Homo-oligomer: A and B are copies of this chain.
Amino acid sequence: MQRYFIASKQFGDNRVTITDDDAHHLTRVMRAEIGDKCICTDGLDREALVKIVAIEKGIVEAEIIERLPMTAEPAVNVWIAQSLPKGDKLELVIQKGTEIGAVGFIPFVSERTVVQYDAKKEAKRVERWGKIAKEAAEQAHRNRIPAIDSVRSFKQLLSLVSEFDAAWICYEQEEGTTFRSLVRESLKNKAAKLLIIVGPEGGFTTGEVEAATAAGVKSVSLGRRILRTETAAMVGLTCILYESGEMGDSFE
């Protein structure tokens, strides 16, 4: 069934109001009519099955038929910090990361970042990334839209590391530390907020890896096959959620 994230103020005790793009999608793309049902959530603590009772001037009114439990969010919160990749690869990372179960994304600029970072264009890009996250969250039946942080410098990113229970930087030259052992150890120690840091196409410099290590980040390899930058985050995220029992392990 079609799902929409709506603002908290649109979520009443007995009714919800669906507006703007969502109302357009519901009435024009899905051709919904009075009496049809969909699911609405405020992405915080309310989710409900609703039935359309009025469609007027691009606004849909629907009554709440049944409150629904919010059970599609992973118990472990994984954030992805991705050095701005070329082209529309960050969109792929956000879309796939949202489907798989990331709770937030931190785009950042590092030494070998090739794309020109343009502060003027940032608002528009963050808006677009947010839209992709919203649509992917709706499609994946998530209860929450992942957060998209503003674009950070590598130094700013490292200053955020202390907010996480564990942080890992993907480094293809790492040969000592094993990713799986670290994931298992962290989950065993009840780590609930994790960060995966992925570099740009050209990878991180030795200096960056050293700075990250000094900030408490563990350098890890994701195996003997070299993953493209946009693939590394999806793979790391999948491994962590699989280990925590989120990829088809139980349905309690």
Name A residues whose Cβ lies closer than 8 Å to a Cβ of B.
Answer: 71-72, 96, 99-101, 139-142, 175, 178-181, 220-228, 231, 234-235, 238-239, 241-243, 245-251
B248 and A220: CB pair below 8 A? yes
Query: Smallest distance from the beta carbon of A234 to chain B beta carbons, Å?
Result: 7
B242 and A180: CB pair below 8 A? yes
Assuming A220-B248, A223-B246, A235-B247, what are 8 further A-B pairs, CB within 8 angstroms? A72-B224, A175-B251, A179-B248, A179-B249, A180-B248, A223-B241, A234-B234, A234-B235
Supposing A142-B225, A175-B251, A225-B140 touch, asked if A99 and B231 sit within 8 A by C-beta, the answer is yes
A141 and B226: CB pair below 8 A? yes
Partner of A245, one of B180, B221, B250: B180
- Max chain B C-beta neighbours (<10 A), residue from A139, A140, A175, A247: A247
Query: Smallest distance from the beta carbon of A231 to chain B beta carbons, Å?
Result: 5
Supposing A141-B224, A227-B140, A243-B242 touch, asked if A250 and B178 sit within 8 A by C-beta, the answer is yes
Supposing A224-B72, A225-B72, A242-B239 touch, asked if A249 and B96 sit within 8 A by C-beta, the answer is no
Closest to A221 in B: B248
B251 and A224: CB pair below 8 A? yes
Please measure, in the bound complex, the distance between the C-alpha atom of A228 and the C-alpha atom of B96, giving whole angstroms.
9
Closest to A239 in B: B242
Closest to A235 in B: B238
Query: Smallest distance from the beta carbon of A13 to chain B beta carbons, Å?
Result: 27
A180 and B225: CB pair below 8 A? no
Please measure, in the bound complex, the distance between the C-alpha atom of A71 and the C-alpha atom of B224, giving whole angstroms.
8
**Chain B residues whose CB sits within 8 angstroms of the CB of A228 once the complex forms:** 99, 139-140
